[in-house]
């Protein structure tokens, strides 16, 4: 079922002369894992901010469940690369901050917290302050902090790009596990073609001037690791074709 729809969306920043994105159209289902890939400055973050409701498009419309997006909502969360966790709160308090503010029942918050701490491997760290954690562990907290809200749409803006390769792979697996149990619509922005191939059921390629969606590709290699594909020529042809769309 289509959850999010963009119809010919265009956006220009208030103090900019140039259009940042133009004629962006897409339809994303609930329970789907989507990746947006494209060169730097093409408008990927701009599109996420519009979906989140932080800004409104000047052209076209963005709809969630058929209703126009007019404001920010916990139903559409973003995990940023810099995370912005609260340093004065411990891991559990950071994760439960949103539902506590929304006054969800304490037992429900506790249940969700326990299962997220388990899924993200953070049980042993639940009472630690975030400044005591490594970058990889902090990203786990950032993911859990959004998943606990059970948003219909969860967006990751280059969330893993600062992590080293090994930790990044761990995060990919954790994200897959969280998404599988949540069944929400996840949108991942990345520059990294191999991250896109591993995480994207659907890979959405942005390019052009102003930025727009050049192509949407169903990815036959979803959950396939580059390292496991070294003898698969079809994989490399597919990867090369995707790279050509981005360059």
Kindly tell me which residue out of 9, 32, 44, 212 binds ligand ATP, with binding defined by CB under 6 A.
44
Does 207 interact with ligand ATP (rule: CB under 6 A)? Answer: no
Residues 6+ apart with CB under 8 A from 244: none
Kindly tell me which residue out of 46, 92, 96, 149 binds ligand ATP, with binding defined by CB under 6 A.
46
218 SS3 class: strand
Least distance to ligand ATP, CB of residue 46, Å: 3
Rounded CA gap, 229 and 226, in Å?
5
Rounded CA gap, 69 and 55, in Å?
10
| Interface size with ligand ATP, residues (CB under 6 A) | 11
Kindly tell me which residue out of 1, 17, 40, 67 binds ligand ATP, with binding defined by CB under 6 A.
40
Q: Which is nearer to ligand ATP, 84 or 234 (CB)?
A: 84
Element (DSSP H or E) covering residue 142: helix 135-147
Does 19 interact with ligand ATP (rule: CB under 6 A)? Answer: no
Does 24 interact with ligand ATP (rule: CB under 6 A)? Answer: no
Does 69 interact with ligand ATP (rule: CB under 6 A)? Answer: no
Kindly tell me which residue out of 23, 45, 150, 207 binds ligand ATP, with binding defined by CB under 6 A.
45
CB 95 within 8 A of CB 59: no
Kindly tell me which residue out of 4, 6, 9, 20 binds ligand ATP, with binding defined by CB under 6 A.
20
CB 203 within 8 A of CB 37: yes
Q: Which is nearer to ligand ATP, 28 or 189 (CB)?
A: 189
Cis upstream peptide for 210 (omega within 30°): yes
191 SS3 class: coil
243 SS3 class: helix
Question: Scanning the structure block, which residue is given the tokens 């930790």?
Answer: 167
Q: Which is nearer to ligand ATP, 44 or 138 (CB)?
A: 44
**Chain residues in the site for ligand ATP (CB under 6 A):** 13, 16, 20, 38, 40-46
């Amino acid at each position: 079922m289509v959850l999010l729809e963009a119809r010919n969306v265009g956006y220009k920043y208030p103090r900019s002369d140039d259009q940042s994105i133009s004629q962006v159209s897409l339809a994303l289902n609930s329970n789907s894992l989507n990746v947006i890939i494209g060169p730097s400055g093409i408008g990927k973050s701009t599109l996420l901010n519009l979906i989140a409701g932080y800004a409104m498009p000047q052209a076209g419309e963005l709809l969630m469940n058929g209703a126009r997006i007019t404001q920010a909502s916990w139903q559409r969360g973003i995990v940023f690369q810099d995370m912005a966790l609260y340093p004065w709160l411990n891991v559990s308090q950071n994760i439960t901050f949103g539902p506590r503010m929304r006054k969800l029942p304490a037992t429900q918050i506790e249940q969700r917290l326990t299962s997220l701490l388990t899924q993200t491997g953070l049980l042993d760290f639940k009472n630690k302050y975030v400044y005591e954690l490594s970058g990889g562990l902090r990203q786990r907290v950032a993911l859990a902090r959004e998943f606990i809200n059970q948003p219909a749409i969860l967006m990751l803006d280059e969330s893993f790009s600062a992590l080293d390769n090994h930790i990044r792979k761990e995060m990919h697996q954790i994200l897959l596990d969280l998404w599988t149990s949540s069944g929400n619509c996840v949108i991942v922005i990345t520059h990294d073609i191999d991250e896109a191939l591993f995480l994207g059921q659907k890979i959405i390629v942005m390019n052009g001037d102003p930025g727009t969606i050049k192509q949407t590709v169903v990815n036959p290699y979803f959950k396939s690791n580059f390292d496991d594909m070294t003898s698969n020529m079809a994989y490399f042809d597919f990867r090369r074709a995707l790279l050509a769309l981005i360059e």
